[in-house]
Amino acid sequence: LQHLVGDKRQPRVWDPAALGGIPCPPKSEEQKMVERVMESCPFKAALACVGGGFVLGGAFGIFTAGIDTNVGFDPKDPYRTPTAKEVLKDMGQRGISYAKNFAIVGAMFSCTECVVESYRGKSDWKNSVISGCITGGAIGFRAGLKAGVIGCGGFAAFSAAVDYYLR
């Protein structure tokens, strides 16, 4: 009984090939190089900056400008309807503004998360919470110490919630 459930139990090595799994050919040097590049911190930061930040931020900015009722509002003539050119111009300006902000936040978060993960040597929920606190604190610190602490806590809580939902 000690050999089955006790201290003398040997861990079983799991081998998918022994169970009739699909054999995997060895990876070539090119595949290994591509994996190393895709797992590097600069690549993750660039991907978060361009993909998650710039594209998502731009789309969000265009969406919010499209539903904003104050686009083209003239206080001298409040009943004037804005032209399509004015609306499109504001959509472009707001899209670029949001895209830059989202890209900066995405790059900051991705860089800090990658550095924290490399330093800790683990990939778990604590990395996103720590990097969320660093990112939120750095963004909020521009408005003062209190705003930095609130930004740290808020961004860390948001990062924890997103990480909990995705894992």
Clarify whether residues 116 and 49 are in a common domain.
Answer: yes
- State which residues form the domain around 93: 45-68+82-122
**Cβ neighbours of residue 146 under 8 Å, at least 6 residues apart?**
none
Q: Are residues 139 and 158 in the same domain?
A: yes
Q: Are residues 118 and 128 in the same domain?
A: no
Question: Based on the domain organization, do 111 and 128 belong to the same domain?
Answer: no
pLDDT of residue 152: 95
User: Do 132 and 156 contact (CB within 8 A), yes or no?
Assistant: yes
pLDDT in tens, the chain (167 residues): 777 777 777 777 666 666 666 667 788 999 999 999 998 889 988 988 888 788 888 888 888 887 877 776 677 777 777 778 888 888 888 889 899 999 999 999 999 999 999 899 888 889 999 999 999 999 999 999 999 999 999 999 999 999 888 87
Number of domains in the chain: 2
* Threshold 0.85, pTM exceeds: no
- Describe the crossing of helices 125-140 and 84-120 by its angle, rounded to 10 degrees: 130
CB 58 within 8 A of CB 92: no
Q: Is residue 52 part of a domain?
A: yes
| Beta carbons of 147 and 141 less than 8 angstroms apart | yes
**Residue 129, pLDDT score:** 94
Evaluate whether residue 16 is within a structural domain.
no
Quick one: 50 and 108 in the same domain?
yes
Q: How many whole angstroms separate alpha carbon 31 and alpha carbon 20? A: 25
